[in-house]
Amino acid sequence: MERLTVDRALRSVSETAKSVTRLDGRLLLMHCLHCRLEDVIAAPDRALTDEEAGRFHALIERRIKGEPVSQILQHKEFWGLPFKVTRDVLTPRPDTETLIELALELYEKEAPETILDIGTGSGCILAALLQEFSHAAGTGIDISELALTIAAENIRNLGFSKRACLEQADFRSDLTGRYDLIVSNPPYISKRECSDLPVDVRDYEPATALFAGDGYDAYRAIVVQLPRLLRPDGIIIFEVGQGQLDTVISLITKTFEQAGRPLGVTVKNDLSGIPRSIGARG
């Protein structure tokens, strides 16, 4: 009996499972074969053992049901760093890298000494900032104890444990401390949009990290605390959803005006040209 090859395995997936991309198939094959992605691409005639073929088909079935590849592999790269990912945290996305890019632009001639990451999840934002700002110390907070367990593992594996502190806290309650840089990718999807989300987001990622009332509840809760948390000339950077830019800028501006602190705002677009990150210095 002719053995299943890499190429035939990928073609069979393309023909029978339209929801599974060729990249998905390659990544799952890479996992089954314990090799690099380039090895999968370079060896289309490589034959799979019965055990490897069985594992591959089992993983494809999980993907067909909607489970994200990142959760199947329990791995996702962000800012060139490897992160463990489970259903307890959001999968790091390229759009979120705009927060890091904006922080580097705003701190071109200086560097923050203290960083607060609100809703740290996997710890990817905090870790990326600690990578770039080598003398900074950071605190990551999250309401989820399970998320903090994943974040702690990632922070430890990347070697940032001595410069990072993780705390269980609700951003709706009073936050403490004073920081040079505050960053947050808060929940910003309105609950009425739940049914419009792809299955791999709606059914497999933590609802507390996705949904916040009308989409602005988290921003409102965080913004009112910023004048107390942010040191003079400090910077806040938010990720925002499509169409949310003007409202979030208005919330930040109004709060800082009431506190008598002048504010400068910078916006960073994602690769699709959509405003994705807001940076405000005040």
Backbone angles phi, psi at 274, to 5 degrees: -95, 130
Between residues 108 and 126, the one the model is more confident about: 126
Say yes or no to pLDDT of 1 above 60.
no
Does position 185 have pLDDT exceeding 80, yes or no?
yes
Q: What is this structure's pTM?
A: 0.94
- To the nearest whole number, what is the mean pLDDT of the chain? 95
Q: Is the pLDDT of residue 123 over 90?
A: yes
Mean pLDDT of 54-67: 95
225 has a pLDDT exceeding 80:
yes
Q: What pLDDT is recorded for position 17?
A: 87
pLDDT digit string, tens, across residues 141-182: 999 999 999 999 999 999 999 999 999 999 998 799 999 999
Q: What's the rounded mean pLDDT across residues 36-49?
A: 94
| DSSP secondary structure of 33-100 | HTS-HHHHHH-TTPBPPHHHHHHHHHHHHHHHTT--HHHHHT-EEETTEEE---TTSPPP-GGGHHHH
Q: If we measure between CA atoms, which residue out of 182, 180, 278 comes closest to residue 234?
A: 180
126 bridge partner residues: none
Which is more confident, 127 or 261? 127
pLDDT exceeds cutoff 70 at 2: no
Q: How far apart are CA 168 and CA 187, in angstroms?
A: 16
pLDDT by residue (tens digit) across 194-215? 989 999 999 999 999 999 999 9
pLDDT band at 263 (very low <50, low <70, confident <90, very high): confident
* pLDDT recorded at residue 18: 84
Using one digit for the tens of pLDDT, what is the confidence trace for 162-171? Answer: 999 999 999 9
